[in-house]
Structure 1
Amino acid sequence: MKKDERVHLEFGLAESLITLIVMFSLLGILIIHYKMAPQIPILLVFTLIMFYGHLRGFSWDEIFNGIVEGITPGIIPIIIFLMIGLLVASWLASGTIATIMVIGFRVLSIKFFLPTIFLICGLIGITVGSAFTTISTMGIAFMGIGHVLGFPAPIVTGAIVSGAFLGNNMSPLSDTSNLTTGIAQVDLYVHLKNMSQSVIPAAVIAMAMYFFIGTTTHVADLKTIHEISNTLGHSFLISGWSLIPIIVLLLLAWRKVPAVPSLLVGALTAIAMVLIESPGIKINKIGLILMSGYHATTGVSTVNKIMSGGGIDSMLGSISLIICALSLGGLLIKFGVVHGVIDSIQRFVNTPGRLILMTALSGIGINFAVGEQYLSIILPGTTFKGAYHRLGLDPKYLSRTLATAGADINALVPWGVSGVFISGTLNVNPLKYIPFAFYPYLNPLMTIILGFSLVSWKYRKKRQRS
C-alpha cells in the first residue's frame, strides 16, 4: 500500500485524544497507584495500541516499521547507558569516586551542601556538555556524601539533576543545544545568550529553594563523617592520582570528543589505574567488575553500600524500559496520534506568547507520550518553525523553548530516557526525586512567562516601529 493511500488510516483528533487519555490513565493507575515497575504498564499499553492499530487497518509491516523508527533515536543513548555502566564500575574500583567523596567531606559545608552540589554539577555540565556524564560521575559521589551527611536521597538527586540539566542547557558542547539550534537555524552562541534569560532566574530560585531545604534537613554528626572518611582512606587509594580519569574526561570534553568515545576512554583510564594499583588482579576479575559492577568490601556496611554499583548489568533494567517506551512512542507517531494533536493546536498560535506556550506544551506532551527528548525537540521544532517565521518572531525563541520543554522536561518523565537513566544510575525512585528537581520545572516555566512578557513586549515594539 502506498503512503498516500493509507493517509485515511491515521487517527483523527478525537481518536488521538482518547488514545492519549486512556494511555496516561492506565500508566498513572498502574505505576502510581499500584506501584508497578513502568516496563509492565508500558508493555500493556503498547500491546493494546498495537492491536487496535492493526484492527484500524495498519499492516503488521507498518506497525513494525513504526516500532523500529521509534527505537532508532534511542540507540545512541542506549550505548551511552552501557558506557556509563562501565565508567561507574571502573571509577568505583580505581578510587576515583572515593577520592571525590573524601575531598567533599573536607571542603563542603553541611549548611550549603545542596546549593553547592547544584552549582558544581552545573559547572561540570557546562564543561562536559552532558547531563548524563555529570550525573554518573559527580552525581554518584555526591549521593554518597549526601547519604553520610543525612540528606534524603531524593533531595540530593533533585539537586544533582537540576545542576546537570542547567549545565546541559548552557554548554556549547551539549547535543541538545546543538540540535535545537540546528532545527531553529540559530547561531549557537546567540541561542546560549538568549537561554540565559530563563536559565539565570530559574537557577537563582532553585538555589534559594535548595538553601532553604538544606538548612531544615536533618544531618549526621561530624563523628560519623570522620569514621566513613577514614574507612574510605584505608580501603581505597585517595590521592590526586585517582583524579586522572576526571581530568581525562574533561580534556576530551574540551576537545569536543563525542560522549561514547569519551566515556569509553574515561573507563579505560580507570581500568588501567586498577591494573597498576593491583598488579596481581586477574583479567577475568576486571571483566566481572565491568559486567556485574564493583562490590566494595570495606568491613563497614554503610560504606559498602555507597561504594558498590555500576556495571553493564545495572543498566539493563533501564535499557529495557527505554526500549519499551520508545516502541510505544513509535506506534503513536506511526498512527498519527502525535502529529494530529500538534497540528490541531496551530490555529491558536497568533501571538508570541501563545506560540511559545503551544510549542512548550507540545514538547512536554511528546515527552510524556514518547519519552524521548530528541523527538520532543524535533517534532515541535519542525511543526512550529513555520509559525515563528509567519509571525516574524526571532527563531532564537523557538530554540530556547525546544531546549527547555524538550530537553529539561525529559528528566521529569519516569519512563523518559533521562528519567530512566537518573533512576537507574542513582538508584532512586523517579516519583520520589521528581518533586525536588526544581530547575527542570522552573526553566520551562520562565520560558513561558518570558513569552507572554518580555518577548511579547519586544514583538509589539518591533511592530510599532515597522
Structure 2
Amino acid sequence: MEENKREVQVTLVESILIMIGMFAILGALIIGAEMPPQIPILLVFTLLMFYGRLRHVTWDQIFAGIIEGIKPGIIPIMIFLMIGLLVSSWLRSGTIATIMVIGFKILSAQFFLLTVFLICCLIGITVGSSFTTISTMGIAFMGIGHILGFSAAITAGAIVSGAFFGNNMSPLSDTSNLTTGLTKVNLYDHLKNMAITAIPSALITLGLFFILGRTSSTADLTQTQQISQQLQRSFNVSIWALLPILVLLLLAWRQVPAIPTLLVGSLTALVVILVSSPGYSVSQIGTLLMNGNAAKTGSHTVDRLMSGGGINNMLGSVSLIIVALALGGLLIQYGVVHTLITSIKQYVNTPGKLILLNMLSGIGVNFLVGEQYLSIILPGTTFMSSYDRLGLPRKYLTRTLASGGADVNALVPWGVSGVFIAGTLGVNPLAYVPLAFYAYIDPIITILFGFTLVTWRYRRSGKRPATSTATTSVGLKDRDQPVN
C-alpha cells in the first residue's frame, strides 16, 4: 500500500482546479446557504473520492488516505471529549459560578475586554493549551460578557486572542514543541524569537480591545448583582470550588499531557460535587458527564449561562473534525497539497519571499485540511531545506510555522480549532473570526518582519544562498546561529 501511495499524483493545474472548486462549494453552501459545515464538507469529500476513482486511484489507496488523514485528529478528538467532561463537572461543582461571581466583583465594563485578553494570555502561557484556556476561563468570561452587555462574538474574540498568544509563548505548548522538535531548534530560542512578533501583535490587539471595550458595552450593572446573587443561591460558590482550577494549573506546571490533566481536573470537580451535595448519586454523575449540566435555577439567564458540557454536546464538533480530516487525507493522498506547496519553492530566493510563501503554505494547508498539526508539519518539512540553502536560521521557520499553522487554524470554520471554539463558546465562527485580532495580526506582522527586519539582518550578515553541496553539510549548530 505504501508503494501505491507514492504513485498517486495530480498535476498542478488539477490541484488548482480542485482547490478552486472546493472553496466555491464550501463558500456557497456554508456562507451563502448557511448550511452546517459537515454537509458541504461531506459533499466535497464524496466528489473528491469519486474523482480519484476516475483517475484510477484504487479504493485501497483512497481508504488509506482517509485513515492517514484522520490519524492526527485522534488525540484532539479525545481532548474534545475530555473537555466535555470538564465543562459539565465544573458547571455543576460551582467552579465556573465562583469564577463568574469573582469576575463580577473585580471587572468593570470599560476594561472588560482588555482584562479578558490579558487573563487568557496568562492562563494560556501557564497551561500551554489554548483549548484548556478557552474551555475553562473562556466559558466563565462568555457568561460575564453576556451580563455586561457585550456580544458573544466580541467576547469570544478577546478569549481566542489571549488563548492563542499564550499558546504561542508557552514552553508547555504542544505546537511550540512540535515546531521545534520537527526543525531541531532550541525551544527557548524559538520562544525568544517568537516574542519579537507576538508581543507587538498582542499590544496592537490590547489597544483594539481597549477601544472596543469603551464603546461596545450596554451594561446594566444592577443586573450583574442580581445574577451574582442567583449564582450564590443556586451553586456552590466557595473557595473550595476553585480547587479543580488549582489542580489543573499544578498538572500543567508539571507538564502532564492534556488528556490526563483534563481527566484529573474533572475528577476533582466530581469530588467537590459529592462533598457539597452528598445526595448526588452515581447515576446522576453519569447523566451529567454524558448530557452536560442542565441548570434549573428559576432564572432564564442563569440557566442559559450555566447549562452545557457533556460528551453528547461535543459530538457535533467531533463529526466535523472527522469529515474535515478525511477530506484532508484525500487531498494529501492525491498529492494536491504537496504539489501546491512544492510548485512555489522555485520562487524562493530572499528571506522575505521565503517567509511569505512559507506562511501562505501554512494558511493554505489550514484551509484545505483544517488540521493545525499538518499545517505545521507539511510546510515545515517542505521549506526546511530552503532556509538552509539561504543560510537563514531555522528559528525563523519555527516562528512562521507557529503563526501560519496554530494561529490561522482558529480562523478556519471547519478547522480543528475553529470547530472547538464555536462548539465550546457557543458562537458562530463567522461572527468571532473578524474579532480574533491576534490570530491574524501575528501572521501579518511575521510577514512584514520577514521583508524588513529579517531581510535587513540577513543582508547585514553578508550571507548568500548556499550551493546544494554546502546545504547538505550545514550542521545543526550552524543553522541555528543568528544572522547578526
Counterpart check, 1:27 vs 2:26: yes
State the alpha-carbon separation in 1 of the partners of residues 130 and 7 from structure 2: 41
Q: Deviations over 1:411-445 (max 9, x none)?
A: 00000000000000011010011010000000111
Q: Which residue of 2 aligns with 1:247?
A: 246
Q: Which residue of 2 aligns with 1:133?
A: 132
CA contact (8 A) 1:90 1:271 kept: yes
Runs of 4+ in 1 over 6 A off after TM superposition: none
What's the secondary structure of 1:58's corresponding residue? coil
Q: Which residue of 2 aligns with 1:102?
A: 101
Q: Which residue of 1 aligns with 2:46?
A: 47
The amino acid that maps onto 1:252 is L
Q: Which residue of 1 aligns with 2:91?
A: 92
Question: Alpha-carbon deviation of 1:55?
Answer: 1.1
Q: Deviations over 1:67-115 (max 9, x none)?
A: 0000000000000000000000000000000000000000012101001
Question: Alpha-carbon deviation of 1:8?
Answer: 5.4
CA contact (8 A) 1:9 1:56 kept: no
Q: Which residue of 2 aligns with 1:71?
A: 70
The amino acid that maps onto 1:10 is Q
CA contact (8 A) 2:5 2:61 kept: no
Question: Alpha-carbon deviation of 1:219?
Answer: 2.1
Q: Deviations over 1:328-375 (max 9, x none)?
A: 000000000000000000001100000000000000000000000000
Q: Which residue of 1 aligns with 2:338?
A: 339
State the alpha-carbon separation in 1 of the partners of residues 67 and 6 from structure 2: 20
Q: Which residue of 2 aligns with 1:235?
A: 234
CA contact (8 A) 1:67 1:330 kept: yes
Q: Which residue of 1 aligns with 2:277?
A: 278
The amino acid that maps onto 1:452 is F
Residue pairs, 1:293-442, within 5 angstroms:
293-442=292-441
The amino acid that maps onto 1:290 is L
Residue pairs, 1:119-198, within 5 angstroms:
119-198=118-197
Q: Deviations over 1:47-79 (max 9, x none)?
A: 000000011011000000000000000000000
Counterpart check, 1:453 vs 2:456: no
The amino acid that maps onto 1:62 is Q
State the alpha-carbon separation in 2 of the partners of residues 281 and 113 from structure 1: 36
State the alpha-carbon separation in 2 of the partners of residues 225 and 425 from structure 1: 23
Question: Alpha-carbon deviation of 1:237?
Answer: 1.4
State the alpha-carbon separation in 2 of the partners of residues 305 and 86 from structure 1: 18
State the alpha-carbon separation in 1 of the partners of residues 439 and 365 from structure 2: 16
CA contact (8 A) 2:5 2:333 kept: no
State the alpha-carbon separation in 2 of the partners of residues 7 and 253 from structure 1: 40
State the alpha-carbon separation in 2 of the partners of residues 240 and 86 from structure 1: 21
Evaluate the alpha carbon distance shift between residue 264 and residue 7 of structure 1 in structure 2; reply closer, same or farther with a 3 A threshold: closer
For structure 1, the 5+ residue unaligned runs are: none
State the alpha-carbon separation in 1 of the partners of residues 273 and 101 from structure 2: 19
State the alpha-carbon separation in 2 of the partners of residues 40 and 73 from structure 1: 22
Question: Alpha-carbon deviation of 1:220?
Answer: 1.9
CA contact (8 A) 2:124 2:133 kept: yes
Aligned length: 465
Question: Alpha-carbon deviation of 1:222?
Answer: 1.4
The amino acid that maps onto 2:173 is S
State the alpha-carbon separation in 2 of the partners of residues 457 and 196 from structure 1: 18
State the alpha-carbon separation in 2 of the partners of residues 211 and 131 from structure 1: 22
Q: TM-score, normalised by structure 2?
A: 0.95
The amino acid that maps onto 1:16 is S
The amino acid that maps onto 1:428 is V
State the alpha-carbon separation in 1 of the partners of residues 246 and 295 from structure 2: 24
Alignment RMSD: 1.2
Evaluate the alpha carbon distance shift between residue 79 and residue 6 of structure 1 in structure 2; reply closer, same or farther with a 3 A threshold: closer
State the alpha-carbon separation in 1 of the partners of residues 361 and 117 from structure 2: 28
CA contact (8 A) 1:9 1:57 kept: no
State the alpha-carbon separation in 2 of the partners of residues 112 and 218 from structure 1: 10
The amino acid that maps onto 1:178 is N
Question: Alpha-carbon deviation of 1:15?
Answer: 0.3
Q: Percent identity?
A: 65
State the alpha-carbon separation in 2 of the partners of residues 443 and 331 from structure 1: 30
What's the secondary structure of 1:16's corresponding residue? helix
Evaluate the alpha carbon distance shift between residue 6 and residue 401 of structure 1 in structure 2; reply closer, same or farther with a 3 A threshold: closer
State the alpha-carbon separation in 1 of the partners of residues 78 and 46 from structure 2: 26
Q: Which residue of 2 aligns with 1:206?
A: 205
Question: Alpha-carbon deviation of 1:463?
Answer: 1.1
State the alpha-carbon separation in 2 of the partners of residues 123 and 67 from structure 1: 38
What's the secondary structure of 1:110's corresponding residue? coil
State the alpha-carbon separation in 1 of the partners of residues 121 and 441 from structure 2: 15
Question: Alpha-carbon deviation of 1:270?
Answer: 0.2
Q: Deviations over 1:234-262 (max 9, x none)?
A: 11111111000000000000100000000
For structure 2, the 5+ residue unaligned runs are: 464-482
Question: Alpha-carbon deviation of 1:218?
Answer: 3.0
CA contact (8 A) 2:109 2:219 kept: no
Counterpart check, 1:221 vs 2:220: yes
State the alpha-carbon separation in 2 of the partners of residues 7 and 130 from structure 1: 35
Q: Deviations over 1:115-168 (max 9, x none)?
A: 110000010000000000000000000000000001000000000000000000
State the alpha-carbon separation in 2 of the partners of residues 64 and 74 from structure 1: 16
Question: Alpha-carbon deviation of 1:7?
Answer: 5.0
Q: Which moved more, 1:425-434 or 1:215-224?
A: 215-224
What's the secondary structure of 1:297's corresponding residue? coil
Residue pairs, 1:108-123, within 5 angstroms:
108-123=107-122
